[in-house]
Every structure is written in C-alpha cells, then in structure tokens.
Amino acid sequence: MEKNLYWVTDGTYQAAFLTTRDGVVLFDAPPSIGHNLQRAIDEVASANGVSNTVTHIVYSHHHADHLGASSLFGRDVVRVGHAETKVLLARDNDPARPVPDVTFETRRTLHVGGERIDLAWHGTNHTPDNIYIHFPDHGTLMLVDINLPGWAPYDSFNLNEDVPGSIAAPATAMAYPWKHFIGGHMGRLGTRDDMVVYQRYVDDIISGVKKALVTVDPTPFFTKYGNNAWGRGQDVPGRAGRLRLRAGHQEVHRRPGRRRRLHGQHHVHHPRVDPPRPRHRHPNPPMTDAGNSRAGSIRF
C-alpha cells in the first residue's frame, strides 16, 4: 500500500500487514485467506530481507469471517482488540479465534518495531466492537464492514447491528487523514472519493425512505404477504433460510412434547449476525442528523 504496509485479498476478504524491524503486525485473519496470509508475508519478508514472524494480530471486530484464521498463528502472538471484542469472543468460545491479550476501551496507540498504529473505538456501528485502525505514517485507514468500495449495501444494510451508528461511521472515517482505505471486503482498496460516493448513496436512501414513509400506503403489501411480517428467516435468504423459516413455522403449529421437536427456531439469526443486545454508546458520539433515522429500530 505504502512503504512497509501491505494488503492481502482473495477477492472477497481483505487483511493487511505491517513489516517492522521486530516482526510482523497482522490486521485481521480471514479464514478464506487462511494459510495464504503467511505465504504472502513470507514472500514480502524474503524480498525485503525482514522478519516474517507475526508478533501481533490486531482484530477489527469479533466476527468469525474476519478472524477465523487467527489460531493459525499460534499462542505466542500478541492479539490486540477492543474490550468488547474480548467479551464477545469469550462468549463465542471458538478455538479458531483466541481472545485478545491486549484490550482498550476508546484509544490505544501501538508501537511495534519503530512503527505506529492508532486504534480507536468511536461507538457501535456494524458491531458493538468495530474499531478504526489508522496508520498515520502510511496514509491508510482500516474500518471493516462499513463501506465496501465497489459494492453497495441494501438488504439488511450489510448485516448491521446499529444502523444509525453505521450511517455515522463514514463521517468519522473522513475526519482522519488518509489516502488508502481498507474496507475488509472486495478485491480492491478504497479512496476518499469512494467514501464520498458511499455517503451520497446512503443519504439518497435516507431521503427516499423518509419520502416513502409519508407517501406509500403499505396496506396492499401487508395484505399480499400475509402475516409473515418481518422477523423469522427474512435475514437468511435462499433455500436454507426458507427451510429454517418452515421449521420455525412447524414449531408454532406443533403440540408441545411431541418427538423430534425443534428447538429455538423462533430465534433464528443469520450466522454472521449476533442476537440483539443493548447498544453501547460512545460518550461523545459523532454528530449527525442521521442519528434519528427510524431505520435503527429495524429488527434483524
């Protein structure tokens, strides 16, 4: 990306690493990239005559699709993440995602091998623990699962846990100085122009929704789609989702105590979405008039 900062992608997921005189700092470890992370590091390290030993892994947030290869780097690596990431990973109890050894609440600057990395938490967005990873000496910001340059969210707003928080996040990102953006997905990096386009896209959706809320009569839609409303299975598209939806339906209409009874089907969540939980609020949330968007009450 710039100098000794590199990014790795499989076209769908992204990770980054910083080579230092004392070893390598890795940022996220998506399982889809897996062992290719170390292969990429080996290639860069041998070309530049620096150490290929990963000494630190910084976690962007707790989701398995971004951290599931963490355990490949062994027990001696220092893992760094938000305090809430530790809580959520302890809950998940997934051997592929060891809990962070070093945590912080709002800000933490890492100094490794003469390099500087600024970590910050600016409130809940995609998840309660999603952090901003700033490389002040490399003109780069990493913020995962908010703006994915080259892609636009619509359904479920990219599996968001806090829609107003995610709407506010790009403005917070733009307040940092950077040229290169790592969004965590897609096969390319982002620019400041990408972020502006994304903000306009979201603004358009917000104004369209505000208009629709006062001009569209939803009665014909409710009539046509029956009593399904929103909820069960609507967040799990495709055949598996429909099967789970049906299983939930059967559960409702089956007498209790029957054999082969299904459990918990009324609380089906997308595997990448955590169950609803109380929101965490930053003491000084970024100012935005999008914060009162009604979208925040959508249940996933």
Contacting positions for Zn ion (CB under 5 A): 63, 145
- In the complex with Zn ion, which residue's Cβ is closer, 23 or 30? 30
Tokens 């107003």 found at? 164
Largest distance between two CA atoms of the chain: 68
Residues 57 and 65: their CA atoms lie apart, in Å, by 15
Give the separation between CA 298 and CA 205, rounded to whole angstroms: 15
Closest distance to Zn ion from the beta carbon of 30 (Å): 10
d(CA 102, CA 79): 6
Which residue number, 63 or 79, has a Cβ lying nearer to Zn ion?
63
Least separation in angstroms between residue 286's CB and Zn ion is: 20
Query: Using an 8 Å Cβ cutoff, are 64 and 97 in contact?
Result: yes
Minimum CB–partner distance for residue 52 and Zn ion (Å) = 28
Please tell me what DSSP assigns to residue 17.
Answer: E
Which lies closer to Zn ion via its Cβ, residue 4 or residue 125? 125
Phi-psi region for residue 73, left (φ > 0), alpha (ψ -120 to 50) or beta?
alpha
What residues does 185 pair with on adjacent strands?
Answer: 13
**Minimum Å distance from CB 208 to Zn ion?**
26
Give the C-alpha separation, 149 to 169, whole Å: 15
Q: How many other C-beta atoms lie within 10 A of the C-beta of residue 279?
A: 13
CB of 273 to Zn ion, least distance (A): 9
User: Cβ 270 to Zn ion, closest distance in Å?
Assistant: 11
Query: Please, which residue, 144 or 195, has the CB nearer to Zn ion?
Result: 144
- Give strand ranges (E) for the chain: 5-9, 14-20, 23-27, 54-58, 78-82, 102-104, 107-112, 115-120, 132-135, 140-142, 180-182
CB-nearer residue toward Zn ion: 86 or 138 = 86
Compute the least distance from the CB of residue 60 to Zn ion, in Å: 8
Q: Which residue's CB is nearer to Zn ion, number 145 or number 162?
A: 145
Residue nearest Zn ion by beta-carbon distance: 63
65 vs 137 by CB, closer to Zn ion: 65
Question: Which element (helix H / strand E) includes 192?
Answer: helix 192-215
